[in-house]
Amino acid sequence: MTMLRRASGFVCRHAWIAIALFAWAYGVRTSGEAEFRTISAAPFALNLPPQDQYLYSSPFTFFVGSYYQHHGLDYAWAFFVVNALGLAAFFGSLSRLLATERFVNRSAAALVLFTSPLLFVMLSWIGKSDAYLLAFYFMFTLSESRVAQVILAGLMITCHAEMGAVVLGVDWCLTRKRTVAIALGVIAGEAAVFTYTHLLLSPSPDSRVTYAMAHAAELWTIFRSHPFLHLAATLGPFWLYASTRMFRHPVRPVLFAAALTLAAASYDFTRVFVIVSTPMLLVITREVVADSFRDGVISIGRHRLSVCALWPLMFFQFQYAGFRLLFAQGVRVALRG
């Protein structure tokens, strides 16, 4: 028992061990290679079928990939480099953010945060611009310069025109800070994406809203069939920490409901929910680590537990995507509608 406690304490001080173990156990999955190849080869030509054209409103990774391809890399290497740099930026900026005094203990904070499906989402949707979106968000929260904040907020929008704006909106609702930077960044980013999709591309690609409207009936059927499963898939084991802290501030349940609605309007339910809820996950993580640091333990119901003992919970993850549940190593279970 003492050995187990020591081992748990060691992992709690070195979160990278748990992250590496998680990556080994769950594996990494890529998506969207064909679309990446098509857009990055010719970013100013509309070559995707209508059902995939919403990808043009997330141009950041495609432009970086296009730059690499114009400088000699083939598309497979460009895809690898773009996504490897995205993950490096994600982990690097998150590590810097959690190292600030706000989070008290970087390793413990990382283990608490990754009991949510965030790490699973990052590793199973490689090819999406989520890693860059969140890396820019973490840098945005770290930066004290308004000019840098505007640039980073604008870059978030170029990663994902809709989710970028929502993440910034959630951050503003929780903190009520950086109002001007968020407003200017969103305006600049949306203007850049609009210029690209509506002025530089001809004809204009179909938007995500058009896509969601066209599939609204099916998306509603998916959500209605398994509402509790959807609820469980939002935060996974992180519910243990969030269940009581979610109601500490009236704005949090409202933001949760908004994120749930947005996620329900997409096929990548867990992915969308976790990305747009990241500011809230960080706030709750900070509270959990602060409670743990102050009292030595955290209270969950009538139980008092050490945060260090709870890190194995991060290995109980699943995602909801369309009519399927996604588990470790790409295992998928189809659900009946």
Residues in contact with other proteins, shown as a per-residue x/- string from 85 to 104 under the rule CB under 8 A: x-------------------
Residue 142 or 246 with smaller CB distance to other proteins: 142
Torsion of CA 172, 116, 129, 148, to 10 degrees: 40
Q: Which of residues 38-77 bind other proteins (CB under 8 A)?
A: 64, 67-68, 71-73, 77
Residue 71 or 176 with smaller CB distance to other proteins: 71
Piece of the chain touching other proteins by CB under 8 A; list 48-56, 96-104, 117-125, 143-151 = 143-151
Structure-token pair, residue 34: 């064909």
- Total residues binding other proteins (CB under 8 A): 12
Residue 151 or 264 with smaller CB distance to other proteins: 151
Q: Which of residues 153-192 bind other proteins (CB under 8 A)?
A: none
- Residue 286 CB, shortest distance to other proteins, in Å, is 24
Give the 3-state secondary structure of 206-233: CCHHHHHHHCHHHHHHHHHHCHHHHHHH
- Residue 113 CB, shortest distance to other proteins, in Å, is 23
Residues in contact with other proteins, shown as a per-residue x/- string from 227 to 266 under the rule CB under 8 A: ----------------------------------------
Which amino acid is present at 65? G
DSSP classification of residue 266: S
How far apart (Å, rounded) are the C-alpha atoms in residues 112 and 310?
8
Strands of the sheet with 324-326, listed across from one edge: 319-321, 324-326, 332-334
- Residue 89 CB, shortest distance to other proteins, in Å, is 8
Residue appearing with tokens 């305006």: 187
- Residue 131 CB, shortest distance to other proteins, in Å, is 13
Residue 81 or 173 with smaller CB distance to other proteins: 81
How far apart (Å, rounded) are the C-alpha atoms in residues 38 and 53?
11
- Residue 90 CB, shortest distance to other proteins, in Å, is 13
Residue 67 or 172 with smaller CB distance to other proteins: 67
Helix (H), strand (E) at residue 303:
strand 303-305
Residue 145 or 225 with smaller CB distance to other proteins: 145
329: left (phi over 0), alpha (psi -120 to 50) or beta: left
Helix (H), strand (E) at residue 102:
none
Q: Kindly report the number of other CB atoms within 10 A of residue 331's CB atom.
A: 11
Piece of the chain touching other proteins by CB under 8 A; list 15-23, 141-149, 170-178, 225-233 = 141-149
Residue 25 or 147 with smaller CB distance to other proteins: 147
Strand 298-300 to 303-305 pairing: antiparallel
Residues 6+ apart with CB under 8 A from 221: 337
Residue appearing with tokens 């602060």: 290
Q: Give residues in contact with other proteins (CB under 8 A).
A: 64, 67-68, 71-73, 77, 81, 85, 145, 147-148
